[in-house]
Structure formats: C-alpha cells, structure tokens
Amino acid sequence: MTDLQDLYQELILDHGRRPRNFKQLDGANTAEGYNPLCGDKVKVYIRTDNDVVTDVSFEGAGCAISTASASLMTEIVKGKSRAEAEQLFKAFHDLVTGHQSMLDSPDLGKLAVFSGVSEFPTRVKCATLSWHTLLAALSDNDQVVSTE
Amino acid sequence: MNASGGILASEKQTSALPFDVARVREDFPILKQSVYGKPLVYLDNGATSQKPQSVLDALANYYSNENSNIHRGVHYLSERATREYEEARAKIQRFINAEKLSEIIFTRGTTEAINLVASSYGRANIKAGDEILITAMEHHSNIVPWQLLCEEKGARLQVAPVNDDGELIMDEFARLLNERTKLVSVAHVSNALGTINPVEQIISLAHQRNVPVMIDGAQAVPHLAVDVSRLDCDFYAFSGHKIYGPTGIGVLYGKTHLLEAMPPYQGGGDMIASVTFEKTTYNTLPYKFEAGTPNISGAIAFGAAIDYVNQIGLSRIASHEHELLVYGTAALAQIAGLRQIGTAKEKAGILSFVMDGIHPHDIGTILDREGIAIRTGHHCAMPLMQRFNVPATARASLALYNTIEEIDALVSGLHKVGEVFNS
C-alpha cells in the first residue's frame, strides 16, 4: 500500500472531496480542459489585473487526483504573475513526472503532496489537466485543451 | 500445430466433462505472472482477451516455418501459407455458420469491417434524406463511420434509446424504423453494459421493411454461439483479439448478393483480376475486399483461437461465464455505495459500476496495485455515459479463464478502495 498511500495523501483526498474555489466566476477569462482517456473535464475561470492573477476558480468532474490538483492550483496561483504561474507549472510538471527539479525552481508549497504521482505514469495527465487549462485561460485560448 | 495440449481434441468428447477452469488457465502463460507482488487478476477481457499457448504457437510456427506471401507464389512455402490462411477462413465460416466461404472477408478488426460497409455499401446505397438507425449503446466504432457517411450524403443518423437497465427500448426502435431507413447497425452485445440485444427481433423487424442489418459482434462472439444463417443478418463483424486470437485481424461476414453488388473498399494487389491503365476488373469474393498483403499470421492464429474455443465448447464457456456473472452481480450488490450500470435481464460477460464519491479512475488505480486489471473510462461509448449521467464507469469483463476467487479478489479490492477514500 505504500505507493498508494503516497498517491492518495490526506490533503489530496480532502481537496478531492471538498474542492476549494469550486465555482463559476462571472466575467472572468475561461478555458476548458478535457482528458478523453478518462472523461475528466475542467473549466478554469481566471481574473487578472496587470498580469497578476486576482481571482481563480474551477468547475468540472474528475478523479480525486485531477480535482485535488485543480483545487490546490487555484490556491497557489492567486496573486502570482503569469510568468510565476508558468514557472510553478514547470516545477509541478517535473515533480509529477519524476524529473529532477531545476535548482532555482519555485517553492511548490502544498503542491509537493503530488510527488507520489510520479510512481503512477498513467495519472500524470490527471494531475496536469487543470494546469494546462489554466495556462490556456491566461493566454485567452478558446480552444478546448486536450491531454491527448 | 495443436501444441496446447491440456484440452481434449473434440467438443463431442469433452462436452460431458465438467468445465475445469484450473486446467484452462494452464493454457494461458500470461496468467501465471504476478504484478506488484500479487497474482494477476485479469478482468479486462472486453478490451482484449489473453491468448492460449496454441495461438502463440500458431504465430511462431507461421513465421518459423511457413512465412511467405499468399495467393501468388508457385513455390512450396507460398502454397503452404495460402492453404493455412484459407483454412482459417473456413474455420471462421463454420464457426459462424456462413453459407459460403467467400462471404468471410478478413479485415484488421471490427472497426475496419464496419468502415468497409459504411464506405462501400453505404456510399453506393445511402442518399440524401435517408436514415441509418443505430442504438444508444453503440461503441464509437459503430457510430462514427455512419456519422461520416451521413455527413457526406446528407443522410440522418437515428438513435434508438435504452431504458434504465440498459436494454434497448424495442417500441422506440420499431417506431424509428420507417420508409426512410436504409440501414440498421446494432451491437449484438454492448461493450459497456453487457446487454445482449434481441438481434433476431431487430433483424426481422428491419427485413419486413427490406432494410439490411449490420451486427457489431465484437463482444458477442467470445460469449455466445453465433449463427449468421439462422440470424439472417446481412453483415456481421467481429475481431480476433477479443476471442483469444491476435490483434490486427477481424472478420466481416456479408451476404453474397450484397457483397457482389458493392464496389471495392480499397484498391491494390490481390483484389484485382486484371489491370490495364484503361480498365481494371476486380477479383471475385472475398478477395475483392482484401487488397494488399493481409495479416497472414494473424488470420492463421485467429483460426487456432477458433479451434481452441471449439475444443472447449462455447456452450460450456458461456455457462461458466454466466456463473461468474451471477456471482459477481450478487457480490457487487453487497458493496455499500456501489451502483451497477447495465442491469439488463439478458447479459454477457460484463460488470460495469460506479461508486459514490469515488471516480472510476481512482478505483482502477487502487485495484491495479492489488494486481487486478479492469477498464475505467467511457468505454468508447460517450453517448451512453451521458445517458446514464456518469462521466465514466469501472468495468470488469469476463473470460473463460476467470474464477470465482478472482471475483472475490475484485470485491476485496473494492473494499480497499472504500478504505482509502473513507479513511
């Protein structure tokens, strides 16, 4: 059960069950993400002011990993600039794919809880779907983001 | 050739003996392995089945001793390969009781067989304003080829609905069948629910209106005896790999008069009688539809898979699987918060379910670490998932080598899923 306990840590289960910022944001930029493999769908809402994220939320249906990832993402990117959000995603991506992080990588904070995903290659897309969608919303990309 | 051993030579000799699943499992080398330190419990047979040693031997034997191209060589190996390939066709003809050998066309699989009919029969016969009737429980491979055809021709795809148990609503089906309907295409057994459709009734209703019927038999052929002559279906498609054969080989059965009137599907070698730059005449059936060098080893090994199934007997396979299905259905019903999707009275081989507050993908990952392989997702039937208002399901699908102990392992794995999520 060790691998599984690493994957399904309490914080992930908590955010999977009770996602934060799980709501619509009127007048925000949006983007939709879709994982055809498992049918996970996410819609990210984002408001920015001078390139800084002032508010962010999401809606959707997905597994515990994708829901928790979206929930924790909304918590960490609020107040960050677009460049900082992109750096966070890069570091997060390295974490969940088991790649060595860059020395000057940003502090992932609570996102470190996703380190167990690297033992489950089939779940990497679950963890990264909301991030791909966030970056699309930041660049005002109307296309549905697909993990395939 | 028949290197598997283990199973006696003919169904007649063995049909009186009890089904011995432990002995059957000996024929499947892959089942002996452990994953994550647990014995492999393979319950993803709806996606693809495992292969018995006799099928593996047929593949190796072909490449070791017979490899050459068919239908054109004058040499020994080519004759031998051609004979084996055509014998496989004859095995399949007998297996589904087709009237003629030339009605058995080798394809890459069920998907290609359906695309063949859509491209060839469909393009020649479907016009603007016509309707093609399918059901709400079709696999994407029995939806998308018809959508493409309808788009091209300005025809309409009509979809007969299913009830809450996942059964086709026959009154609605009959109502949707009208003078505009030019083709019916339905799954014999639903890949996502396991529902066995009343194909006899469907075919008879359609034939009353002179509408031809295509049956997608991918999920039926491993579990029930199929007799295309008795069914009187016009086309029947299935895949080798779901019935213990290799991937990349399948079959389209079609009635001779339909196949003869149809234009070729693909052009190339083997499908022609003569070629000049002015005019090409096509080969006779079935070769008209088999352009290019086919999957020779696949066809021969497919034949070996049919031999294997015949040796055990489909009726005994079906009754063993039915026992597992009944046991599994009752066992899953005991799990709190679990809801089975697909509770038709007539079912084969499939236990599809969702659990309260736990996404199927998470169920699949936790079971995987218990050594249990199931499928999670939309099962290439997204409209059906919408019908049941679920994004996905978890699906355990059965084969002849599965055991009651494996169903027990699934159940205890699902309890573990509950523990992880409700801790």
CATH number for the domain harbouring residue B393: 3.90.1150.10
DSSP B380: T
Q: Do residues B193 and B241 both lie within one domain?
A: yes
Q: Do residues B333 and B241 both lie within one domain?
A: no
User: Under an 8 A CB cutoff, do B421 and A64 touch?
Assistant: yes
Nearest-10 crossing angle of helices B314-333, B296-312: 80
How confident is the model at residue B304, as a pLDDT?
Answer: 98
Cα separation, B388 vs B162, whole angstroms: 10
> Does residue B257 fall inside a structural domain?
yes
Q: Do residues B176 and B256 both lie within one domain?
A: yes
Residue B376 touches chain A, beta carbons under 8 Å: yes
Residue A2 touches chain B, beta carbons under 8 Å: no
Residue among B1, B4, B74, B86 at smallest CA distance from B309: B4
Helix (H) or strand (E) holding B90: helix B76-96
User: Under an 8 A CB cutoff, do A61 and B391 touch?
Assistant: yes
- pTM, entire model: 0.92
CB pairs under 8 A between A and B: 53
Per the structure, the count of domains in chain B is 2
Nearest to B365 among A39, A41, A120 (CB): A120
Per-residue pLDDT of chain B (423 residues; tens, 9 = 90+): 344 433 444 444 445 567 999 999 999 999 999 999 999 999 999 999 999 999 999 999 999 999 999 987 789 999 999 999 999 999 999 999 999 999 999 999 999 999 999 999 999 999 999 999 999 999 999 999 999 999 999 999 999 999 999 999 999 999 999 999 999 999 999 999 999 999 999 999 999 999 999 999 999 999 999 999 999 999 999 999 999 999 999 999 999 999 999 999 999 888 888 998 888 899 999 999 999 999 999 999 999 999 999 999 999 999 999 999 999 999 999 999 999 999 999 999 999 999 999 999 999 999 999 999 999 988 899 899 999 999 899 999 999 999 999 999 999 999 999 999 986
Residue A22 touches chain B, beta carbons under 8 Å: no
Judge contact between B395 and B374, C-beta under 8 A. Answer: yes
User: Under an 8 A CB cutoff, do A8 and B369 touch?
Assistant: no
User: Considering only CB atoms, which chain A residues are within 8 Å of B365?
Assistant: 4, 7, 120, 122-123
> Does residue B37 fall inside a structural domain?
yes
Of B281, B310, B339, which residue constitutes the final position of a domain?
B310
How confident is the model at residue A143, as a pLDDT?
Answer: 66
Q: Do residues B183 and B306 both lie within one domain?
A: yes
Helix (H) or strand (E) holding A7: helix A2-7
**CATH number for the domain including A25?**
3.90.1010.10
How confident is the model at residue B269, as a pLDDT?
Answer: 87
> Does residue B1 fall inside a structural domain?
no
Q: Do residues B263 and B353 both lie within one domain?
A: no
Q: Which of B354, B362, B376 to mutate: most A Cβ within 10 Å?
A: B362
How confident is the model at residue B422, as a pLDDT?
Answer: 83
- Which residues constitute the domain of residue A98? 2-146
> Does residue B136 fall inside a structural domain?
yes
Alpha-carbon dihedral B242, B244, B248, B250, rounded to 10 degrees = -70
Of B284, B310, B336, which residue constitutes the final position of a domain?
B310
Alpha-carbon separation of residue B276 from B273, B280, B284 (angstroms) = 10, 6, 18
**Bond prior to B286 in cis (omega within 30° of 0):** yes
Nearest to B369 among A4, A38, A62 (CB): A4
Judge contact between B308 and B400, C-beta under 8 A. Answer: no
- Which residues constitute the domain of residue B386? 11-52+313-417
> Does residue B422 fall inside a structural domain?
no
Q: Do residues B134 and B253 both lie within one domain?
A: yes
Judge contact between B295 and B109, C-beta under 8 A. Answer: no
CA A97, A102, A105, A108 torsion: positive or negative?
Answer: positive
Structure tokens at B385: 């998932």
Could you confirm whether B380 is annotated as catalytic?
Answer: yes
Q: Do residues B156 and B224 both lie within one domain?
A: yes
Residue with tokens 């699989």: B109
User: Considering only CB atoms, which chain B residues are within 8 Å of A7?
Assistant: 365
Strand duo B38-39 + B34-35: pairing:
antiparallel
Per the structure, the count of domains in chain A is 1
Cα separation, B374 vs B72, whole angstroms: 44
Q: Which residues pair with A48 in a beta bridge?
A: A53
User: Considering only CB atoms, which chain A residues are within 8 Å of B422?
Assistant: none
> Does residue B67 fall inside a structural domain?
yes
User: Considering only CB atoms, which chain A residues are within 8 Å of B360?
Assistant: 38, 63
**CATH number for the domain including B103?**
3.40.640.10
Residue among B205, B199, B262, B263 at smallest CA distance from B225: B199
User: Considering only CB atoms, which chain A residues are within 8 Å of B376?
Assistant: 38
Of B288, B310, B332, which residue constitutes the final position of a domain?
B310
Q: Do residues B221 and B320 both lie within one domain?
A: no
Question: Among all residues of chain A, which has the CA nearest to that of B361?
Answer: A63
Q: Do residues B72 and B21 both lie within one domain?
A: no
Structure tokens at A41: 């769908």
Nearest to A39 among B366, B369, B392 (CB): B392
User: Considering only CB atoms, which chain A residues are within 8 Å of B366?
Assistant: 4, 8
Q: Do residues B194 and B239 both lie within one domain?
A: yes
How confident is the model at residue B74, as a pLDDT?
Answer: 86
Q: Do residues B305 and B333 both lie within one domain?
A: no
> Which one is catalytic: B21, B157, B258, B380?
B380
> In which residue ranges of chain A is pLDDT below 50?
1
Distance in Å from the first CA to the final CA of chain A: 30
Cα separation, B147 vs A97, whole angstroms: 38
How confident is the model at residue A102, as a pLDDT?
Answer: 63
User: Under an 8 A CB cutoff, do A126 and B358 touch?
Assistant: no
Judge contact between B52 and B387, C-beta under 8 A. Answer: no
> Does residue B398 fall inside a structural domain?
yes
> Does residue B4 fall inside a structural domain?
no
How confident is the model at residue B413, as a pLDDT?
Answer: 98
Q: Do residues B369 and B287 both lie within one domain?
A: no
How confident is the model at residue A106, as a pLDDT?
Answer: 82
For chain B positions 274-313, those within 8 Å of chain A (CB to CB) are none
Nearest to A63 among B359, B378, B423 (CB): B359
SS3 at position B366: helix
